């Protein structure tokens, strides 16, 4: 069985400030981890993924996440946020077939 916990339902951050969105997971099988982003009135877009190899993964728009096996975490970070980062962020784990999602974190950027 798999589960994902996103501890923060909402995170307000000032523009150009750093942000960390927390994600903890549990899985009884091999772990593949993902962050998806959902902009208002849109679908889910893959932000970044951990499948194997380097524990630090990066996206093209400045986000990064680090897989920490001992802490069963996959926190998402960005050193300086922009207004355009306003969205809901979902952490997900894939064991066999399905993705199991967390409850999401709504990131609000304050100008």
Question: Footprint of other proteins on this chain (CB under 8 A)?
Answer: 32, 34, 36, 42-46, 49, 51, 90, 92, 94, 96-104
Is 89:76 a contact under the CB 8 Å cutoff? yes
Nearest distance, CB of residue 32 and other proteins, angstroms:
6
Nearest residue (CB) to other proteins, 85 versus 88: 88
Q: Name which of 17 and 46 has its Cβ closer to other proteins.
A: 46
Q: How far is the CB of 110 from other proteins (least distance, A)?
A: 23
The number of beta carbons lying within 10 Å of the beta carbon of residue 71 is 10
Residue 72 DSSP one-character state: T
Residue 47: CB minimum distance to other proteins, A: 10
> Which of 42, 48, 33 has the alpha carbon at shortest distance from 78?
48
**Residue with smaller CB distance to other proteins, 52 or 70:** 52
Toward other proteins, which CB reaches closer, 8 or 32?
32
- Residue 100 vs residues 14, 37, 91, 111: alpha-carbon distances, Å: 30, 15, 9, 33
């Amino acid at each position: 069985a798999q589960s994902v916990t996103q501890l923060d339902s909402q995170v307000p951050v000032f523009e150009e400030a750093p942000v960390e969105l927390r994600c903890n997971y549990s899985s009884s099988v091999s772990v593949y981890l993902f962050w998806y982003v959902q902009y208002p009135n849109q679908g889910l877009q893959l932000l970044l993924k951990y499948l194997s190899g380097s524990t630090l993964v990066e996206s093209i728009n400045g986000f990064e996440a680090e897989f920490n096996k001992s802490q069963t975490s996959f926190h998402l970070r960005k050193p300086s946020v922009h207004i355009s980062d306003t969205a809901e962020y979902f952490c997900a784990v894939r064991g066999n077939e399905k993705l199991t999602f967390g409850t999401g974190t709504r990131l609000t950027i304050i100008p």
